[in-house]
Structure 1
Amino acid sequence: FYMGINIGAFVCNIIAAYMRNKYGWGEAFVTAGVGMFLGLIIFSIGKKHVVHANVMKPVQEGDTTISSILVKVFLPAIIAGAIGWVIPGNIFGSDSTDAFIFACIPVILFYIFIYISANAEDKKPIGALLAIFAVSMMFWAVFKQNGTALTRWANYYTDRSVPAALEKPLESIYLVDTKDYNTKEVAVHDNQFQTVKGEDGKPKKEQGKDIYFKNISKEQRAELEANPDKKVYLYNTELFQSINPFWVIALTPVVVGFFMMLRRKDKEPSTPTKIVLGLFLSALSCLVMVAAVYAGDNGASKVSPLWLFAAYGIITIGELCLSPMGLSLVSKLSPPRITALMMGGFFLSTSIGNKLSGILASMWYSYEDKANFFWVNFALLLIATLLGVAILKPLNKAMKEKGVK
């Protein structure tokens, strides 16, 4: 399941780069829509293979009805979201973000109510899962910056030069971006590579070089000044989005094999322990990016793409210890009649984490020293790790009482 998702995630960025380079941005976005539509068709055709798993659990006394959920959860969420949208100013950066966070509050309260009203047997596992949801939310808040902060890093701070031997082969299949050093009309950028806008809200223009060349090395600049018409071949920024799924595909057998070896020696850690380990490793990936900032003198010069490969590699191991394990933990610990509901709670934590990721990423330009930005991410994951350690004992106890590992 997890490998399948990431095989698609690896390939799609390559297709996106191809479509953008050969046809343009519009066609690339259309391709994404077509891909989603094809996925829906494939799901519809293959639904017969999973229909047997769609078993309705028998209704028990105290179960919450759909109408009750609509009245007690969705209606308050809609009202809260509307309040978040119309309140003056912004609390979390934008009207849409305020609306989302406000709308989540009744849903979170609903899950807390489930815990409070649960019987003694169910209360411990439900409480354990709610704690996991809280720490996993912090993980996703950092992890999902692959599409924001880390993409900015790849675009402006990373040396994307293609080796000479690969220039023509990759160009023939439209997998490189090409530029030249000629002076032309370009958008004005500040020292953080942020587009400068005029009073009309539109980007200011000036005569100059492409923004990519702002922080190239002295040797590269001297070579290009001598031959400004020379075509410069660069890896597309979107290709860096395939690093994480590449690591998932490459490291999943390694991680699985490692834990199987520990199992044979009767030393395999529990699922909650793996999750805490994943949080700690993810925190370490932020330190790699701190080092990358120092290596490039905070953007004064571009750094090797190996920094991103290393950061993604470490956080991917953390992901493999946390994401599939989290799903497994929900299915193992949840009371049978609310397994689907608790699975929804796990994905709610992912959703809130994604939104928090956007809030964090919006603070990128607030930190002139980008190392401080990654230090903040490290601190968040370190706090999540410490919280995980604090609840590890009761989590393991709940697992033991349920007879699972």
Structure 2
Amino acid sequence: MSKQKHPKGLMILFFTEMWERFGYYLMLGIFSLYMIEPETTKFPGLGFTNMQAADVYGTYLALVYLTPFFGGLIADRMLGYRNSILIGGVLMASGYIGLAIPDSMGAFYISLLLIILGNGMFKPNVSVLLGKLYEKPEFISLKDSGYNIFYMGINIGAFVCNFVAAYLRLTYGWGWAFAAAGIGMLIGVVWFLVGLARVPEIKEADTISPKRPGDVSMSRLFAVLFLPAFAAAALGWLIPDNMFGSDSNDAFIFFCIPVLFFFFTTWKTADKKTEREPIAALLAVFGVVIIFWAVFHQNGSALTYWAKNDTSREVSGITETIVNAVAKTEEVSTLPREIKLQGAHGEDLGTIVGPNPYFNNYTKELPVGNIDDKPSDLTEEEWAALSEAQKSEGGQLNLWPTELQASINPFFVVILTPLVVGIFGWLRRRKKEPTTPGKIAWGMIISALSWLVMVVAAVASGNGLDKASVAWLFGVYGVITVGELCLSPMGLSLVSKLAPRRIAALMMGGWFLSTAIGNKLSGVLSGLWDLFEKKSYFFLTNALLTAAAFLIILFLMPWLNRVYKQYVE
């Protein structure tokens, strides 16, 4: 018996998305590191605090996944999927290259805006276009596995990019790494153009949905949705003080209110017999997975802080040779394990204690290449209090670059995707495959368990008294990747199956809206990092939040499965 074949367009979209994600995750892997890097080092960063960086990181991620809502609408009603993908790719490439401009906060924020807008045009439409390739009867049963394969392409790019980023930023500086992200995106655009010429079925799948009587025009959407949303965001930003912790939090939450109301109206006015219940099921899933994204996307903030400050990253011998072959080791200066500090008038300034000599986990991080001169994160009084003997005890340690930890997750995605697809295929042949909502529920509980790995890691390392083994990072990413593979690509697949055809990209935008809200919450949660002296409590909070979301989706499962079987199977 011959195996079923996937549509030819899968490989075109696979590699287009691979290169897009190469650029996206290259930038994301060094984003927090760039923001918290002191301005006085060899390759200066922005000098933000952890809390400032987490706020910008969460806001950026939120907007990156909010704009697909608008990009989906524009593609559905005006431009089509191909044109939207091309426009989005060019905007993102421009943004990445713009980040390479040194010493300009204006260029920094304008570049982020270009990336945000470009992702909004690109991300939902490439996913919807993939789903439309599987609408032919011979491909329908392969849609879930098609999205898993597509997801593997995303993570090949995400795995490779961090090695490129580490080498370029340590050798030539941050700007070269950001520029490489832009070049990767341009390669993806060129590949997509070649694919359009060689695979006609992509063009055939790209059809603008016919306007249904009663559908709101784009001009009216701008009047009743876009303008109120931006006005609400401005109001949230300008309100004196802060209602939700920061101006960016207030603006984002206020912005979401008109958007959420629009989705409610979309459900309320949908056809009762054919559309209302599928839309309701999708909105319910969107609401629950917010928590998943709130904890999952801390990989670029909280877990980056853990890798940088609490993980033993020392390399030597063969390991150092291997790291230097694929990226470059990072040199840091060392000081004694315990330094008693005394002020100019004899007052006790406390003691800097670090179980490893290259930095303290909670207060003072010792910068690169500062042995003879005053480290930038010590005050003049603190530095003056050190004896000459203490100052001379410094040395150099070689560490693997922090951003390489961001490649652990995509590494597991690439390795485990064939296994997960194979298991679900095996269950499908035996008529025991879970429904797509069922797979999402499995993803949620597995993700909750993954954070317990970090609870154990924090306890085992004395909550910062000792450096933790890098094996704990492999452990948490290994478990959470299985959960991710059950949830994230299945969410894309569920939208493509249940969403009414006329608003397919709009509902895909809804999936990314839920991701946006979760991402903003990830920044809020990561912003609490320095407030948790015991990191085990921080990770336990993530585990409990995800477990609560699992219980909600478990409660909804009978209804979700009924809707799924009624409208899909």
TM band (smaller chain) = 0.7 to 0.9
Instruction: Tell me: CA distance 1:295–1:45, structure 2 relative to 1, closer, same or farther (3 Å).
Output: same
User: Is 2:414 the counterpart of 1:249?
Assistant: yes
Q: Supply the AA of the counterpart residue of 2:179.
A: V
Match for 1:317 among 451, 467, 482? 482
Distance 2:286 2:490 in 1: 12
Match for 2:432 among 267, 278, 301? 267
Q: Superposition pairs for residues 172-251 of structure 1, below 5 Å?
A: 174-181=327-334, 192-193=362-363, 203-205=377-379, 206-207=382-383, 229=395, 231-251=396-416
Q: Superposition pairs for residues 61-100 of structure 1, below 5 Å?
A: 61-100=213-252
- Structure 2 unaligned residues grouped into runs of 5+: 1-149, 337-351, 353-358, 367-375, 385-390
Instruction: Tell me: CA distance 1:169–1:260, structure 2 relative to 1, closer, same or farther (3 Å).
Output: closer
Match for 1:116 among 268, 278, 291? 268
- Is the CA contact 1:149–1:361 (under 8 Å) kept in the aligned structure 2? yes
SS at match of 2:464: coil
What is aligned with 2:498? 333
Distance 2:236 2:196 in 1: 38
Q: Which moved more, 1:171-180 or 1:366-375?
A: 171-180
- Aligned-pair CA distance for 1:67: 1.4
Distance 1:148 1:375 in 2: 17
Q: Supply the AA of the counterpart residue of 1:156.
A: N
User: Is 2:275 the counterpart of 1:126?
Assistant: no
SS at match of 1:368: coil
Distance 2:488 2:363 in 1: 33
Match for 2:321 among 168, 185, 198? 168
Distance 2:316 2:427 in 1: 41
User: Is 2:28 the counterpart of 1:28?
Assistant: no
SS at match of 2:399: strand
Instruction: Tell me: CA distance 1:233–1:158, structure 2 relative to 1, closer, same or farther (3 Å).
Output: same
- Is the CA contact 2:439–2:486 (under 8 Å) kept in the aligned structure 1? yes
SS at match of 1:63: coil
Distance 2:171 2:421 in 1: 39
- Aligned-pair CA distance for 1:379: 1.4
What is aligned with 1:18? 167
- Aligned-pair CA distance for 1:279: 0.5
Distance 1:194 1:383 in 2: 36
Q: For residues 197-221 of structure 1, give each alpha carbon's deviation from its aligned partner in whole angstroms, at most 9, with x where no partner exists.
A: xxxxx9544549xxxxxxxxxxxxx
- Structure 1 unaligned residues grouped into runs of 5+: 197-201, 209-224
Q: How many residues align?
A: 378
Instruction: Tell me: CA distance 1:113–1:141, structure 2 relative to 1, closer, same or farther (3 Å).
Output: same
What is aligned with 2:304? 151
- Is the CA contact 1:156–1:193 (under 8 Å) kept in the aligned structure 2? no
Distance 2:323 2:563 in 1: 53
Distance 1:279 1:42 in 2: 35
- Aligned-pair CA distance for 1:91: 2.5
Q: Identity over the aligned pairs, expressed in percent?
A: 49
Instruction: Tell me: CA distance 1:292–1:260, structure 2 relative to 1, closer, same or farther (3 Å).
Output: same
What is aligned with 1:107? 259
SS at match of 1:298: helix
**TM-score normalised to structure 2 length:** 0.63
- Is the CA contact 2:281–2:560 (under 8 Å) kept in the aligned structure 1? yes
Q: Which moved more, 1:41-50 or 1:114-123?
A: 41-50
Distance 1:58 1:181 in 2: 66
Q: For residues 34-78 of structure 1, give each alpha carbon's deviation from its aligned partner in whole angstroms, at most 9, with x where no partner exists.
A: 333444444445444433322012222122211121111101101
What is aligned with 1:7? 156
**TM-score normalised to structure 1 length:** 0.87
User: Is 2:221 the counterpart of 1:56?
Assistant: no
SS at match of 2:483: helix
Q: Which moved more, 1:237-246 or 1:337-346?
A: 337-346
